[in-house]
Amino acid sequence: MRICIDTTILLDILKDEFRSFQEKLYTALARKEDLIAPPVVYAELVPQFEGDTRQLDIFLDEHRIAIEPLGLDSVTVAAKAWMKYLKRKSKRKCPECGHKLNFKEHFLSDFFIGGFALAKCDAILTRDRGIYAKYFAQVVDYEGCLGISSR
């Protein structure tokens, strides 16, 4: 099974946080799943290694995570979800005064990861399930593959 690994899971390992999510990655490794991530995950991890891409490459190799190109299919899926997000975002206004409201912002990188997961993988392993459930509802959560309900 091809599993897209979100940046959040790798940060959990690096920071030794959210052990239950770390365990899901180690379960995937034990099950010999194909663990892959798009280049944007790589880019998001570079600061954790203070720019030392050699150390980042070693970390990814140790966890058997391959970086694969996004591809036009992933980018197209991401762009359509991004447009949906932007459309929803622009409609948020105060019901009393009509002033545009600020709310939690998502980054385009989240949409690239979601598009990649939908176009190229069987499931996604992430701690940030909300955005993927909302904008990429067809993406299977790896927890479901393990018979575990999401948080």
- Tens of pLDDT, residue by residue over 39-53, are 999 999 999 999 999
Domain formed by 2-143, architecture: 3-Layer(aba) Sandwich (3.40)
54: left (phi over 0), alpha (psi -120 to 50) or beta: alpha
* pLDDT tens, position by position, 23-78: 999 999 999 999 999 999 999 999 999 999 999 999 999 999 999 999 999 999 99
- Report the distance separating Cα 5 and Cα 115, nearest Å: 13
Quick one: pLDDT at residue 21? Answer: 94
Q: What pLDDT is attached to residue 6? A: 97
- Report pTM: 0.83
Kindly state the percentage of the chain with pLDDT values over 70: 89
